[in-house]
Amino acid sequence: MLKLHTDIRFASVILMNKVRIAPTPSGYLHIGNVLSFALTVALAEREQANVLLRIDDMDQQRANAAYVQDIFDTLNFLELPWHEGPRNAQEFATEWSQMHRMPLYHEVLSSLQQKGQLFACNCSRSQIKALSADESYPGTCCHKALEFDKAEVNWRMQTSPSAQVSVNTWQLKEQTITLPASMQYFVVRKKDGHPAYQLSSVIDDLHFGITHIVRGVDLWASTLAQLYLAQALPADAFSNVQFYHHDLIAGADGQKLSKSSGATSVKYLREQGYKPGQVYQHIADSMQLRQPVANWQQLAEAFWSPKKVSVLLNS
């Protein structure tokens, strides 16, 4: 049984700063993941924050034991530290998998449903694509009053085009942003009955008392959706989280890296004989950083050197 500190069991008192590394075991980790991890632990060091390893295995169809093991292999090989969370794959499976927190996710979903903040939707991706050129959901089912326990329905959040959220960046500058079209009526429970990423990520961050979140710029819209969702929850700790969204490593085609791109995986580089320092240098070269790099500390400093990290951290 989960033991938390409020009526819906969220950490209500934050005793210290905490960040998280949150990989998904849906493929072998690539150099883009490592960049994000390095920036996370470097910022944690500057903020005197603990680092939590949280493996997001909600998508059980894509989760794979080999990919879970790869997370530990990669972190240990590159000497990326973490203070809380599983130390190996067995500990993850028995104590830390998101499957152990399913009662908490469903408790929150039930609360949102009872408050009238959700609606059921049976639209397929092809139907949404046919209705919306940019594939954003147009709210087709928000007034249909479909049954929540009906088979093959998503549960979506009630939103509005004018909905706004406040974002605290790591620079301690607050911005008020309108929820983008891509996140209108975002999914919180999938058709398979499992909570969607936007919900499970927020609940986990609240559950573990996360105070700072490092993400790629590709997850900016997700940050806004999660802040909107957090406003509907009794716990207000998420509104105080500070975010840092970093630039991404682009692939040869100019697009962000994918876990299906084997040549960019750390596993592939290790098999090619790369040492940890060479992996970090490869990342620096991929970002066109013009200085030698041998570890995660130097990679972070090289990444921030033209961007004045002291200003970034308001120090």
Query: Tens of pLDDT along 91-115?
Result: 999 999 999 999 999 999 999 999 9
The pLDDT of residue 173: 77
Task: Work out the burial of residue 224: count CB atoms within 10 Å of its CB; fewer than 13 is exposed, 13-18 middle, 19 or more buried.
Answer: buried
Q: Is residue 2 part of a domain?
A: no
Residue 6 lies in a domain: no
- Nearest to residue 211, comparing CAs of 52, 5, 75, 86? 52
Which CATH number does the domain housing residue 67 bear? 3.40.50.620
**Matching residue, tokens 């203070």:** 83
Range of the domain at 151: 18-312
Residue 262 lies in a domain: yes
Is residue 279 within 8 Å of residue 37, measured between CB atoms?
no
Mean pLDDT, to the nearest integer, of 50-73?
A: 96
**Is 3's pLDDT higher than 90?**
no
Which of 4-8, 68-72, 251-255 has the least mean pLDDT? 4-8
253 confidence band (pLDDT: 50, 70, 90): low
Residue 3 lies in a domain: no
- For residue 128, is it within any domain? yes
In the chain, the DSSP E strands lie at 18-21, 50-53, 118-121, 154-157, 164-169, 174-178, 187-189, 212-216, 242-246
Q: Has residue 36 got a pLDDT over 90?
A: yes
Domain assignment of residue 109, yes or no: yes
Per-residue pLDDT band at 15 (split at 50, 70, 90): low
**Residue 116, by phi and psi: left (phi above 0), alpha (psi -120 to 50) or beta?**
left
Backbone angles phi, psi at 255, to 5 degrees: -95, 165
pLDDT at 7 over 90: no
- For residue 1, is it within any domain? no
Mean pLDDT (the chain) is 89
Neighbouring CB atoms inside 10 A of 240's CB total 9
Residue 184 falls inside a structural domain: yes
Q: Number of structural domains, the chain?
A: 1
Alpha helices in 253-295 (DSSP H): 266-271, 276-286
Work out the average pLDDT over 228-238.
87
pLDDT digits (tens, 9 = 90+) for 170-226: 766 788 999 999 999 999 999 999 999 999 999 999 999 999 999 999 999 999 999
